[in-house]
Amino acid sequence: MEEQPEVVKIEQKFPSWRDMLKPVTEKDFKHGFYHYPILKRDAEYLKDYIPFGTRDWDPLDKDWKLPEDWKERFLNAFKDKLEKYRPFKLYMDICVRCGACADKCHYYLGTGDPKNMPVARAELLRSIYRRYFTKSGRIFKEWAGARELTEDVVKELYYYLYQCSLCRRCSAFCPYGIDTAEIVWRGREILNSIGVTHRFTPISIAACARTGNHLGLLPGGMAGALQSAAEDIAEITGVEIEVPINKKGAEVLFVAPSGDYFATPHWFGFMGYIMFFHEIGLDYTWSTYAGEGGNFGTFQSYELAKLLNQKIYHEAERLGVKWIIGGECGHMWRDKHQFMATMNYPLPSTLEDPVNPITGTYFENAAESKMVHIAEFVADVIKHKKVKLDKSRNDHWKVTFHDSCNPARAMGLFEEPRYVIQSCCNYFYEMPEHTIREKTYCCGSGGGNLTEEVMDLRMRGGMPRALALKEVVKKHGVNFMCTICAQDKAAFPILMEYWKLPVEIGAMMELVGNALIMKDEEQERTLDLRGNPLKRGEE
Amino acid sequence: MPELEVKGKKLTLDEDGFLQDWEEWDEEVAEALAKDTRFSPAPIELTEDHWKIVRYLRDYFVKYGVAPPIRLLVKQMKKDFGKEKGTLEYLYQLFPQGPAKDGCRIAGLPKPTGCV
């Protein structure tokens, strides 16, 4: 007998506004939803940024062993953030609780938990803001939607601030443009100040501060991965490529997310980068120090983001490159596009405004940060017909494109990847309109949630995307979802397994690598980058 | 935190059964980790093929500070076991929960993190 699938129940609850003020505590924390606490080893390493992390505590304990003066520290940190970040103060004040964001959150849709509505998530902090920083809250207390800061409230904040993937779909629908990600960041920062942090991101932050990348790959490992990818390329295309690493005086520095060096299906996109740059003859280099585009510091605090970010400009200066291309990474682009230049002001004087040496295009949009997205760069090269592409090599794929949250909503990168994909394959289908472009759904695992212990949350949060994908699988037989974010590539294969969708996940650059006709290629290609036989012209 | 007793010594594991301190590992610890059913549905009987992979993971980790990419591991398997057995499918036969969850755990490596 075939095994019956487990039914995922979504329980919806509609509590009164007074009930909403009652904190959810460790007694109600559910497995698969709460995060493990920070490891002592990482807390020790990051103690200047996350104090008190080395104490013995567990989110399921009644006593979280907060520092004695935690309340004072919490409120001081809160005050500090209000003064430092104007948008945060604004977002604390202006919400009218219209509820337009409520059903836009993938976590709310997947869990039905009313506190996962973006408005409610922000209210967790707003209620404290009202009590301690506004007159009406001080006087009317609960009747003004204010509440006392207690240990239980801290527990609730920990539970729900780490159930947000910072995808900002809600802010696309908010009539005021309130950015919930900004609120959640500030909330996590405030929790950091009393040593309440989860485990997953600090591991990578510590590794990144030490080695330059989230995985903790050492230079030899990175060079080995690049070499191994070049071997794979030689096996499939017959073209021998020497990959430039830490090459001084190159024109361009290329920075990919470290997942690309390591994991599958990232790997095939990784091969795609190397093939493409080789084919157009770009004078570029990889770096074993600035070997990570992503920045998990962004999920934790501004200071940590800055700590990890500066390495890219340092390395650009050391190598003497003119500008930088960034790879298929998600949150990297919120970071690089919106904060990077001001975070690290002034920029090294060796950098110049990006101009594509192959086509002569001046990237005006990247003049401030000197960083160009790989999709923009490749689209530019293809538009100027500087490479030859054979679309039929991707005939075994029926492709759809998942807009990764941050390139879409933080950069407005909609057309470039689509242009590249459509130039590289014959069969391309869009998912329903309300699930793509600026309205794209999150994979459910972003923002520091890409960890085993919150698997239940991740699979539920990915449900809206899975349903949208199911639609095009049924209608058009889509079997390949292209995405330009390393977390997506790690998260989706598990999601496909869970929601039973026969779809492979891959990179934009994988499709480019497949379609790319290389000058030195002597024989007709028979395999795609995954080693599958090609099926040209077959429906 | 869960613990594991080997030769009268108590070793600390994390919530998913990974050794907290990778330097505490030796072959007897590996045997004990493989038999620990708290973190895998069934105990794993370590054969010579298992050991080859575990030792490769271990050597790579000591050299480069991180577990090898899966594709490198499969390439190595092709060298060690030949084309027939040098596949991802065979790897999953040996380690049912996958090379990261079972392989790295038994080899005493920390769980890989980041966007992977």
The answer to whether residue A530 sits within a structural domain is no
| Residues of B identified as active-site | 115
**Same domain, yes or no, for A238 and A272?**
yes
How far apart are the CA of A328 and the nearest CA of chain B, in angstroms? 12
The answer to whether residue A3 sits within a structural domain is no
What pairs with residue A482 in β-bridges? A401, A506
Count of domains for chain B: 1
Range of the domain at B91: 3-106
Contacts of B14 in chain A (CB under 8 A): 36, 39
Contacts of A487 in chain B (CB under 8 A): 115
Q: What CATH number has the domain bearing residue B76? A: 1.10.10.370
Average pLDDT of every residue of chain A: 92
Q: Do B64 and A228 touch (CB under 8 A)?
A: no
The answer to whether residue A419 sits within a structural domain is yes
Q: Which of A401, A314, A380 is nearest to A350 (CA)?
A: A314
**Same domain, yes or no, for A115 and A236?**
no
The answer to whether residue B72 sits within a structural domain is yes
Q: Do B116 and A451 touch (CB under 8 A)?
A: no
Contacts of B86 in chain A (CB under 8 A): none
**Same domain, yes or no, for A193 and A210?**
no
At A1, is the pLDDT very low, low, confident or very high (cuts 50, 70, 90)?
very low
Q: Do B75 and A200 touch (CB under 8 A)?
A: no
Distance of alpha carbon B20 from alpha carbon B18, whole angstroms: 6
pLDDT digits (tens, 9 = 90+) for B63-97: 888 888 888 888 889 888 888 888 888 988 999 88
Per cent of chain A over pLDDT 70 is: 99
The answer to whether residue A273 sits within a structural domain is yes
pLDDT digits (tens, 9 = 90+) for A294-325: 899 999 999 999 989 889 999 999 999 999 99
Q: Do A259 and B116 touch (CB under 8 A)?
A: yes
The one-letter code for the residue type at A137 is G
Contacts of A329 in chain B (CB under 8 A): 115
Q: Which residues of chain B approach chain A closer than 8 Å at the C-beta?
A: 14-16, 63-66, 68-72, 75, 111-116
**Same domain, yes or no, for A178 and A224?**
no
The one-letter code for the residue type at A46 is L
| Contact in structure between A300 and A46 (CB atoms under 8 Å) | no
Count of domains for chain A: 2
**Same domain, yes or no, for A121 and A264?**
no
pLDDT digits (tens, 9 = 90+) for A14-38: 898 889 999 999 999 999 999 999 9
Distance of alpha carbon A334 from alpha carbon A54, whole angstroms: 31
| pTM, entire model | 0.90
Range of the domain at A160: 17-198
**Same domain, yes or no, for A168 and A273?**
no
Contacts of A453 in chain B (CB under 8 A): 15-16
The answer to whether residue A10 sits within a structural domain is no
Distance of alpha carbon A423 from alpha carbon A389, whole angstroms: 8
Best interface-test mutation with B: which of A215, A258, A271 has the largest number of B CBs within 10 A?
Answer: A215
**Same domain, yes or no, for A52 and A164?**
yes
How far apart are the CA of A252 and the nearest CA of chain B, in angstroms? 24
Query: What share of residues in chain A are helix, strand, coil (percent, to 5)?
Result: 50, 5, 40
Contacts of B112 in chain A (CB under 8 A): 215, 262
DSSP string, B10-62: EEEB-TTS-BS-GGG--HHHHHHHHH-TTSSSS-----HHHHHHHHHHHHHHH
pLDDT digits (tens, 9 = 90+) for A417-473: 999 999 999 999 999 999 999 999 999 999 999 998 899 999 999 999 999 999 999
The answer to whether residue B116 sits within a structural domain is no
The answer to whether residue A7 sits within a structural domain is no
Q: Do B72 and A225 touch (CB under 8 A)?
A: yes
The answer to whether residue B79 sits within a structural domain is yes
The answer to whether residue B74 sits within a structural domain is yes
**Same domain, yes or no, for A369 and A427?**
yes
**Same domain, yes or no, for A96 and A24?**
yes
The answer to whether residue A239 sits within a structural domain is yes
How far apart are the CA of B1 and the nearest CA of chain A, in angstroms? 10
The one-letter code for the residue type at A220 is G
pLDDT digits (tens, 9 = 90+) for A36-47: 999 888 999 999
The answer to whether residue A12 sits within a structural domain is no
DSSP string, A129-196: HHHHH-HHHHHHGGGGT-----HHHHHHHHHHHTT-----HHHHH-TT---HHHHHHHHHHHHHTTT-
**Same domain, yes or no, for A430 and A359?**
yes
The answer to whether residue B112 sits within a structural domain is no
**Same domain, yes or no, for A251 and A164?**
no
Report the pLDDT value the prediction gives residue A538, as an integer from 0 to 100: 62
Q: Which residues of chain A approach chain B closer than 8 Å at the C-beta?
A: 36, 39, 200, 203-204, 207, 211, 213-218, 220-221, 224-225, 228, 232, 257-259, 261-264, 266-267, 294, 296, 329, 450-453, 485-487, 489-490
Distance of alpha carbon A366 from alpha carbon A325, whole angstroms: 10
Distance of alpha carbon A442 from alpha carbon A45, whole angstroms: 31
**Same domain, yes or no, for A251 and A382?**
yes
The answer to whether residue B111 sits within a structural domain is no
The answer to whether residue B114 sits within a structural domain is no
